[in-house]
């Protein structure tokens, strides 16, 4: 009997949006509870028990934390959290945190969440972001570096800041947009010339 090959399932596609804090609290809580032990350790720097996560999610709903989620079929599979500054000092920065479930990794979800979180922070007129993560959380460190974070290792964890005035992602977007905008301008110019030529030709044709 011929061997029947199985086609690997394609990853489900989701979308990114900001959660409504109080009403959608269970979505964040359930996502955090689904994290595997290693991911929990990386995300919370060692705190693993369910009761801690439930208290943490409840606090996020009450303290003004902005939660950007990656949602597949109504379930949060990744989350980016923008925690407000701890005090009113002008030097105090909001803090960013991220988590993506194992089933949704290596699909660029972290980058999507980070980009949306930076947009949320700029909308709130924050000038920078603070990053704090465990020393072994290589994925978070790599993601933070991608967006221009200056990371320092101390006391078993990695800390750093991101200047929101201009990030490498913005500079890359500018480089991409420049030739695109030039191309659009050239197309617009060509269309204008063609309309002018067409009107002149038609006018001459009717006059004859």
Q: H helices within 63-167, ranges in order?
A: 109-123, 138-146
pLDDT at 25 over 70: yes
CATH of residue 87's domain is 3.40.630.30
- Do 56 and 143 belong together in one domain? yes
| Per-residue pLDDT, 196 | 53
Domain presence at residue 174:
yes
| For the chain, percent of residues with pLDDT exceeding 70 | 64
Domain presence at residue 1:
no
- Domains in the chain, number: 2
Rounded to an integer, the average pLDDT of 98-113 is 85
159-204 pLDDT, tens digit per residue, is 778 888 765 555 444 444 444 444 444 444 455 445 554 555 555 5
Long-range contacts of 121-127 (CB under 8 A, 24+ apart): 121/82, 121/94, 121/96, 121/164, 122/164, 124/66, 124/82, 124/94, 126/93, 126/94, 126/164, 127/93, 127/163, 127/164, 127/165
Q: Would you state the torsion angle of the CA atoms of residues 149, 152, 155, 158, taken in this order, to the nearest 10 degrees?
A: 30
Nearest to 135 by CA among 114, 154, 111: 154
**pTM across the whole model:** 0.68
CA distance 52 to 73: 27
Structural domain boundaries, residue 60: 15-165
- Do 33 and 114 belong together in one domain? yes
């Amino acid at each position: 009997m011929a061997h029947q090959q199985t086609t690997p399932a394609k990853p489900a596609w989701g979308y990114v949006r900001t959660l409504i804090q109080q009403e959608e609290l269970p979505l964040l809580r359930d996502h955090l509870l689904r994290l595997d032990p290693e991911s929990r350790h990386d995300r919370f720097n060692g705190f693993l028990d369910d009761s801690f996560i439930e208290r943490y999610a409840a606090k996020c709903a009450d303290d003004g934390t902005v939660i950007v989620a990656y949602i597949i079929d109504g379930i949060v599979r990744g989350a980016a959290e923008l925690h407000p500054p701890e005090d009113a000092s002008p030097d105090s920065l909001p803090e960013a945190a991220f988590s993506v479930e194992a089933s949704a990794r290596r699909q660029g979800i972290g980058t999507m969440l980070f980009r949306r979180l930076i947009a949320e922070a700029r909308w709130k007129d924050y000038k920078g972001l603070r990053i704090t993560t465990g020393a072994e959380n290589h994925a978070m460190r790599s993601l933070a570096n991608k967006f221009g974070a200056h990371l320092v290792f101390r006391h078993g964890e990695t800390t750093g800041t991101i200047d929101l005035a201009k990030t490498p992602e913005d500079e890359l977007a500018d480089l991409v947009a420049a030739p695109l905008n030039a191309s659009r301008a050239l197309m617009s110019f060509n269309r204008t010339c063609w309309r002018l030529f067409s009107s002149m030709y038609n006018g001459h044709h009717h006059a004859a």
